[in-house]
């Protein structure tokens, strides 16, 4: 009776613990972007926290590999959206494709699909000054604004 109770407690405690997916903390070997027509891969990789480190880089330059984390990947996907939005692609979407995992080498290849959408381009900005505005010099206002455009 006591053995069964201990066995039951053991299995319940095992079932209650959350386990990390197999690819957590695997080395990021390659990052592939699909659908990125406007921004280059190198530019996007430079902005991401996760970086790819090839086997040759790891061996010959002693470069530390970056370890995959789903939390870090989610942050990078959001970061990519903000980068594209700052370039005028307001409706950009990113999606993580299924990971290519090598269990033996404990490496992961990441593919990110980017749907850029149409860019928003500002053609004209017009300012209309109110007649009652005190101490407003249209020329100085225009000079200040032109420095920020």
67 or 1, which is more confident? 67
- pLDDT of 41 reads 94
Tell me how many degrees the CA angle 130-135-136 measures, rounded to the nearest 5.
45
Task: Tell me: pLDDT of 115 over 90.
Answer: yes
Task: Kindly report, residue by residue over 63-107, the tens digit of the pLDDT.
Answer: 788 899 999 999 999 999 999 999 999 999 999 999 999 999 999
Sort 112 into a burial class: Cβ within 10 Å, 0-12 / 13-18 / 19+: buried
Q: Give the per-residue pLDDT at 55.
A: 78
Please name the residue that has the structure tokens 């280059």. 40
**Band (145; pLDDT cuts 50, 70, 90):** confident
Taking the CA atoms of 47, 35, 52 and 20 in sequence, report the sign of the dihedral they define. positive
pLDDT at residue number 18 = 37
pLDDT at 1: 60
Domains and CATH numbers, the chain: 20-115 (3.10.20.310)
């Amino acid at each position: 009776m006591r053995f069964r109770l201990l066995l039951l407690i053991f299995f319940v405690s095992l079932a209650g613990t959350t386990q990390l997916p197999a690819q957590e903390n695997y080395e990021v070997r390659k990052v592939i972007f699909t659908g990125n027509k406007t921004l280059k891969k190198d530019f996007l990789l430079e902005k991401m926290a996760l970086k790819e480190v090839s086997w040759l880089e790891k061996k010959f330059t002693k470069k530390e590999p970056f370890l995959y984390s789903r939390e870090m990947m989610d942050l990078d996907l959001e970061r990519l959206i903000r980068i594209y939005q700052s370039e005028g692609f307001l409706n950009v979407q990113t999606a993580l494709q299924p990971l290519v995992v090598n269990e033996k080498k404990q490496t992961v290849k990441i593919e990110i699909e980017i749907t850029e959408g149409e860019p928003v381009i500002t053609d004209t900005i017009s300012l209309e000054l109110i007649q009652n505005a005190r101490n407003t010099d249209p020329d100085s206002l225009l000079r200040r604004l032109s420095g920020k455009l």
